Amino acid sequence: AQTVTQSQPEMSVQEAETVTLSCTYDTSESDYYLFWYKQPPSRQMILVIRQEAYKQQNATENRFSVNFQKAAKSFSLKISDSQLGDAAMYFCAYQGKTSGSRLTFGEGTQLTVNP
Amino acid sequence: EPEVTQTPSHQVTQMGQEVILRCVPISNHLYFYWYRQILGQKVEFLVSFYNNEISEKSEIFDDQFSVERPDGSNFTLKIRSTKLEDSAMYFCASKRLAKNIQYFGAGTRLSVL
């Protein structure tokens, strides 16, 4: 079974600074998807960024980028120019290649942005 | 932009009662999911649904749970006899056939007293 681990329960960053959230996963599959979801206090789950494992190029989405290290099974999220609105719980998630597969989530990292 | 809609936003029930949580997935999506999140814990998969049948379910999804797509738009999760430990946030998600991204609703907070 796949597992996802986020070893940082809490992180903090100064507004306008850069922060990196860590995620590792375990799988025997060679092709899969990885995601970062954001959960603000409203508890809505919002997709931040997605990475397809067969693509070597790291995904970017405006101020959000990932560092995907397939051999190390590592998938970190970098938030540049942090804004107060980035404060939220961030979940890393894994999905197998099979269409319709479940998402397996990590424990989450609570990010605080200090003004 | 289309979104997944869940009702109610908060449901309070007595232990042993039946509850139905409702979801309206995005209209052209074909895969539907339920997840739950107990307060302070990670999000856990419950069940996925495709082509009018369950395609996968977790060990959490026991005989107390059932899902249904009663018409062309709604997707429901029924808990037959609620327990205190069913108190959680329940999220519905949906996905298109071609694109592998699950879009989540805002969730229903279920409180079992």
Judging contacts by C-beta atoms under 8 Å, the chain A residues touching residue B58 are: 102
Distances (CA, A) of A70 to A6, B56, B77: 16, 27, 36
pLDDT in tens, A38-53: 999 888 889 999 999 9
Q: What mean pLDDT, rounded, does chain A reach?
A: 94
Average pLDDT, chain B: 93
Helix then strand then coil, in percent of chain A rounded to 5, is 5, 55, 45
From residue A2, alpha-carbon distances to A39, A73, A81 in Å are 22, 11, 33
- The whole-number average pLDDT for the span B56-81 is 93
Give domain A3-114's CATH number out of 2.60.40.10, 3.40.50.1820, 3.40.50.720, 3.90.1150.10. Answer: 2.60.40.10
Q: Is the pLDDT of residue A73 over 90?
A: yes
Query: Tell me, what DSSP letter sits at residue A59?
Result: P
Q: Mean per-residue pLDDT for A95-106? A: 87
Q: How confident is the model at residue B38 (pLDDT cuts 50, 70, 90)?
A: very high
With a cut of 90, say whether residue B1 has pLDDT above it. no
The CATH number of the domain holding residue B24 is 2.60.40.10
Mutate to test the interface with A, among B44, B48, B60, B102 (most CBs of A within 10 A): B102
Is the confidence at residue B96, as pLDDT, over 80? yes
Of B97, B100, B105, the CB nearest to A95: B100
Cβ contacts below 8 Å, chain A against chain B, sum to 58
Q: Which residue of chain B has the CA closest to A96? A: B100
